[in-house]
Amino acid sequence: MSKPVKSQWNFGELFSPAEMRKVLSVSELTGNVRALLEKQIGTVWVSGEITNLRAQNSGHIYFTLKDAGAQLSCVLFSREKVAQRELLADGQKVLLQGEVTVYEARGQYQLIVRAVELQGVGALQVAFEKLKLKLAAEGLFAAERKRALPKFPARIGLITSPTGAAIRDVLHVVQRRNPALEIILASARVQGDGAAKEIAEAIRMLNKYGNLDLILVTRGGGSLEDLWAFNEEVVARAIFESAIPVVSAVGHEIDFTITDFVADVRAATPSVAAEIITENVFASRELVGDAMSLMQLRVRRRMRIESENFESLAGRLVRLHPRRKLDDSLQRLDDLQSGLLRGLKTAARSRNLVLQNLAGRFLRVKPLQVWKARQEVLKQLEKRLNLLGPEQVLARGYSITTDVASGKVLRDATKVKAGQKLKTRLAKGEVFSTTQP
């Protein structure tokens, strides 16, 4: 066995212990964790069951979202204009959209809620599942009827809102990957009453227009209610009847609509749909020459770096926004208010215990025992009063002399007059006498 080779470097000699480690305060570490969560995770959709819901006087709502394996603290601030806020209740299963962050005062990660949807049992969800089963049974989703997209489309039809984010995403990708692609826009509302009818009519109109390689039906993300036009049967029937292949790109990657199941191709987002449509042309352009490929590679790398720099700056801006500090202050205020209420409840319970103890002691004393005790006290007082009475004084050999006429007790012999009639009271009997001059 070969001997271990001694390294020529001695890191203990190069760096002192203080230089080889970085010591963070709790606040610094928590701030770093918060920044990391907000940058790496940011805004997400999460599902679970609500528990421990409590609404503060401030209007803020705090609760826990849980599943079988974990739980997540959530807060919905009163200023957030969130639809379906009334869905929040203990035991309710929901889908939440929000920002993952850290409440630094308690070192606890939490979700700041921005949107609420009912999970699984909502009326729209029931209608969605019912229509899905119906259309699947009729064969509208069958894989064998789906058509392949043309490899090099020259003209496509685009059905979306002319003012939405989806059209901007599609045009941006097409301009970058295949600027020669011709786009025929059939504008339609993508949410609200009547939107489904407009989308279906746009599909039929583009089929009559002719000379199109494919049709792209798209819109950006939103709630189940926002995307509901793409879950209507009239749209599904129009796609199924279309003689032109249809690409569906509705919402975000996690969103699925009826149009996704009926369409020939489903794309996760509008941008992804544009990339799928331009994929072969773009790949062919890459084969034109190494110089163009290298240029594009450098451009994309630069864009990625700038995008990361932008996200980093945007994250710093969000963390330094006064609203975030206000949120923390409001949450601390709610914590203090909760602590004060708990203190008042504890004081009230202590007072009630004291009153109950006094009442118990009073009830344990029987009325007869009280009466006997009072009678014994009266007897003792009567004895003490008798000891101080005049009869006891006379019994010890003393007498009391009074003037017969006035009945006044004589206390001074110098004030007695000659011939004054006196009465002397003894322990037994009385003696009458007349003073001599």
* pLDDT tens digit sequence for 20-51: 578 889 988 888 888 888 888 888 999 999 99
What pLDDT sits at residue 1? Answer: 44
State the burial class of residue 81 (Cβ atoms within 10 Å of its Cβ: 0-12, 13-18, 19+).
exposed
What is the strand order of the sheet 155-160 is part of?
182-187, 155-160, 214-219, 246-250, 265-266
Domains and CATH numbers, the chain: 26-118 (2.40.50.140), 123-277 (3.40.50.261), 390-434 (no CATH)
* In the predicted structure, residue 406 carries a pLDDT above the cut 90: no
Q: Please count the CA atoms within 13 angstroms of the CA of 216 that sit on its side-chain side.
A: 33
pLDDT band at 4 (very low <50, low <70, confident <90, very high): very low
Give the tokens for residue 84: 């379906």
Compute the average pLDDT of residues 11-26: 65
Compute the average pLDDT of residues 249-275: 92
pLDDT digits (tens, 9 = 90+) for 104-116: 888 899 999 998 8
Higher pLDDT, 135 or 11: 135
What pLDDT sits at residue 2? Answer: 44
429 three-state secondary structure: coil
Most confident of 78-92, 182-196, 272-286, 359-373: 182-196
65 three-state secondary structure: strand
* In the predicted structure, residue 215 carries a pLDDT above the cut 50: yes
* In the predicted structure, residue 197 carries a pLDDT above the cut 80: yes
pLDDT digits (tens, 9 = 90+) for 372-391: 777 887 888 777 777 666 77
The residue to which tokens 């009230």 are assigned: 348
What pLDDT sits at residue 81? Answer: 85
Higher pLDDT, 357 or 279: 279
Cα gap 263→245, rounded to integer Å: 8
290-320 helix and 279-286 helix, angle to the nearest 10 degrees: 120
Does residue 203 contact residue 184 with C-beta atoms inside 8 Å? no
What pLDDT sits at residue 323? Answer: 75
What pLDDT sits at residue 63? Answer: 95
Cα gap 294→300, rounded to integer Å: 10
Compute the average pLDDT of residues 401-428: 81
What pLDDT sits at residue 238? Answer: 95
Q: State pTM to two decimals.
A: 0.42
Enumerate the H helices of 139-265 as residue ranges.
165-177, 195-209, 233-241, 258-262
**Maximum Cα interatomic distance, the chain, rounded to a whole number of Å:** 167
Q: Please count the CA atoms within 13 angstroms of the CA of 312 that sit on its side-chain side.
A: 6
Most confident of 126-130, 157-161, 354-358, 429-433: 157-161
Compute the average pLDDT of residues 296-320: 81
* Sequence-ordered list of residues with C-beta below 8 angstroms from that of 286, at least 6 positions apart, any chain: 292, 293, 296
Could you tell me which residues are beta bridge partners of residue 182? Answer: 155
The residue to which tokens 């004030």 are assigned: 415
Does residue 199 contact residue 263 with C-beta atoms inside 8 Å? no
290-320 helix and 26-40 helix, angle to the nearest 10 degrees: 130
What pLDDT sits at residue 7? Answer: 47
